[in-house]
Structure 1
Amino acid sequence: MADKQLINPDVPLALGGNTFGWTSSEDDTFAVLDAFLDAGGAHVDTADSYSQWAPGNSGGESEAILGNYFAARGNRDKVFLATKVAGWEEQPGLTPENVNEAVEASLARLQTDYIDLYYAHYDDESQSPQQLARTFDALVKDGKVRHIGLSNLSPERQAAWIAAAQEGGLTVPAAIQPNYSLAHRSDVEGTDGYGELAEQHNLAVFPYYSLAAGLLTGKYQSLEDFEGSDRAGQLAQFANEDALDLVGALVGISEELDHEPASVALAWLLAKDVTAPIASARVPEQLDALIAASDVRLYPEHVARLDEASQKFL
């Protein structure tokens, strides 16, 4: 998996914007972004749909808060900004009409005239690979988007899009965003999975759910710990002994290395040659463990032990 220079290599972390306007207030979001940039971070990942799932929200909140931040700080050029289309129930699908309307709406909320990395968030099988390639290439040619990314499309559809772009002399996608963590390995590491695709086409890889909705922070070490979490729905799949065994092994290794479990979990991803994991911080105090991932010295024995502990998730 190749680094396409879409990240600051000194801080290989993409800051997730899913908390902005959900569990993070606007003031908290500003503080998190300030701390992230001060630490040398640059890549911020959001979507037009964030956070439509939150009570009282309808989507667009994360982008709007980011736009307010850029306006207040005057630092848009300091951020490598990624956002997405086709995950918001208000603007679903990847037809040319919807994509064009959605990108304009995102640019307005973000208070910017360009997006560094624009993802197709979910597939739209009504659109051929050739049409998808044309639709997104037009955004690049118009200067609204600088790079194209793919998320939640099957490896087969992603390969077909890339081939169509290459054959048509159009902008080739530069990045993919798969679900990948110690608690979800098969999509990337499996045969004909996203890992092989990334290697074949020299794609940057930015995994989401890098901490498995918080499971890999070490906070959840018993079944009782899952009760009452603000991410209970996302964590429900991990309320079992297999997940607790994985967390136990992760916590044990993190104690040996004198690092937080989250740092070690992200370091494992970096050891698997991802470009940068995506992880979010509700408040600035949570950033330290995320940024520290690049300082963790994982030896082959540690990687092997983590591989073994997460074998049931392969």
Structure 2
Amino acid sequence: MQYKKLGNTDLQTAPIVFGGNVFGWTLNEKKSFKMLDELFEKGFTTIDTADVYSRWAEGNKGGESERIIGKWMKERGVRDKINLATKVGSSMQQGGDKDISRSHILKASEDSLKRLQTDYIDLYYTHWDDNKTPVEETLETYQQLINEGKVRYIGASNLSPERLQTSLDAAKRSSLPKYEVFQPEYSLVERAKFEGKIRDICQQNNLSVLSYFSLASGFLTGKYQDKEDIHGKERAMFLKDYFSDRGKNILKAIHDVSNEYMVSEAAIALAWLMQRPGITAPIASATKKSHLKSFFQAIDIDLSKEHMQQLNEASAY
């Protein structure tokens, strides 16, 4: 498996990053450990999580994903073999305010380190922008954490083009840490948030791009064909808006292309991302060992120009 370098760092990732939002949500601790064991064995050693995962699950308070990952790393003794990414900026309270102030980052980072049972975070993301904290304050706080050995590199997610560019300019002007990775929502059903200004900024500044919701919460696997299929499902809140005419056209295109290559629809959706301009690697989750087959299928596929065009046209916006 060919690994990819992340920005101007010494971090490398498999062509697909595993999304840890399922740990403590759709996977309990026991099943999470089995999945993590399987991922590690197969060489998927970059794990993406956040302090608030899996807050939205009934009975959860946030931090569940980090706790499970931390316990697994400690029990298996594999911390030094894992590229660990987590995030700061969201509130542990549903509907709470975003916060990337110095005080919040310092407290949240300590809380994450305790849950993860580690001394350092390989890649620490600004999860959401609060659109009020001066970017210099945020970057200076990251500098402190880097100086203390608690964070190695930083990334950003969900920033506007303006705030991302302002942050990059401030880093250069004041010799502060630079975002090395950007994490946008990007998939066949959600293209507009990344394509355009954000992609241009990332390419111009050598930011690696790891897309989240790469399978649109399972919609692009072909598992759900209409709204009736998601009734009562944990992911219903994320899926409910996808069942438009455009969404159905995308599903048909993926289905047709997957038949051509004799692979899963999830593999086609991931392969499309891996071949899109500016994308370093998609982030994807799985809840069963059998789902990982799609990861390897996607890595092995080289979609033709004609099939890429077919998918591009079906997902045009």
TM-score w.r.t. the length of structure 1 is: 0.94
Tell me the CA shift for residue 6 of structure 1: 3.5
Counterpart amino acid of residue 155 in structure 1: P
Q: CA deviation at 1:274?
A: 1.0
Question: Which residue does the alignment assign to 1:94?
Answer: 100
Which residue in 2 is equivalent to 1:278? 283
Which of 20, 27, 30 is the aligned partner of 1:27?
Answer: 30
Report how many residues are paired.
308
Give, in whole Å, the separation in 1 of the partners of 2:253 and 2:224. 13
Instruction: For residue 211 of structure 2, give the secondary structure of its aligned residue in structure 1.
Output: coil
Give the C-alpha shift of residue 58 in structure 1: 0.4
Do residues 219 (structure 1) and 223 (structure 2) align? yes
Residue 263 (1) aligns with residue 279 (2): no
Contact 2:6-2:180 within 8 A present in 1 as well: no
Contact 2:16-2:295 at 8 Å conserved across structures: yes
Which residue of structure 2 lines up, in the alignment, with residue 289 of structure 1? 294
RMSD over aligned Cα, in angstroms? 1.6
1:203 to 2:197 alignment: no
- Aligned-pair CA distance for 1:226: 3.1
- Partner residue in 2 for 1:305: 310
Change (3 A) 1:77 1:57: same
Written as runs of structure 1 = structure 2, the 5 A alignment for 1:94-243 is 94-190=100-196, 192=197, 194-243=198-247
Query: Which stretch has the larger CA shift, 232-241 or 60-69?
Result: 232-241
Paired AA for residue 23 in structure 2: F
Correspondence for 2:253 among 240, 249, 266:
249
Q: Residue deviations 1:82-126, cap 9 Å, x none? A: 000111335951111110111011001000000000001111223
Asked whether the equivalents of residues 13 and 291 of structure 1 are also in contact (C-alpha less than 8 Å), the reply is no
Q: Does the CA-based 8 Å contact 1:179-1:209 persist in structure 2?
A: yes
Mapped partners of 2:57, 2:230: distance in 1: 19
Deviation digits for residues 247-284 of structure 1 (CA, Å, limit 9, x no counterpart):
01101101111111111101111101411111111222
Q: Name the SS of the counterpart of 1:186 in structure 2.
A: coil
Helix, strand or coil: the match of 1:112? coil
Q: Compute the displacement of 1:223 (Å).
A: 4.1
Deviation (angstroms), 1:221: 2.4
Shift of 1:53: 0.7
SS at 1:174 equivalent: strand
Q: How far apart in 2 are the matches of 1:6 and 1:261? A: 30
Distance 2:162 2:142 in 1: 18
After superposition, residues 40-51 of structure 1 pair within 5 angstroms as 40-51=43-54
* Cα distance in 2, alignment partners of residues 58 and 152 from structure 1: 22
**How far 1:66 sits from its partner (Å)?**
0.6
Q: Which structure 2 residue ranges, 5 or more long, are not aligned?
A: none
Partner of 1:14: 17
**What do residues 183-240 of structure 1 show as CA deviations (whole Å, max 9, x unaligned)?**
01112113x2x21111010001011110011111111224432333321111011122
User: 1:137 aligns to what SS in structure 2?
Assistant: helix
Give the superposition deviation at 1:3.
4.7
Q: Distance in 1 between matches of 2:244 and 2:177?
A: 44
Give 2:145's aligned amino acid: L
CA distance in 2, matches of 1:178, 1:45: 13
Letter in 1 for 2:313: E
The higher-RCO structure (CA 8 Å, 6+ apart) is 1
Q: Which amino acid aligns with 1:114?
A: Y
Question: 1:75 maps to what in 2?
Answer: 78
What does the per-residue CA deviation read over 1:267-313, in whole Å, with 9 as the maximum and x for residues that have no partner? 1111014111111112222222124311112111111110001013x
Q: Which amino acid aligns with 2:288?
A: V
Identity of aligned residues (%): 43
> CA–CA distance in 2 between the matches of 1:89 and 1:80?
24
Equivalent AA in structure 2 for residue 309 of structure 1: A
SS in 2 for 1:143: coil
SS at match of 1:188: coil
Residue-by-residue CA offset, 1:132-162 (whole Å, 9 max, x unaligned): 2211122112111111010111111011011
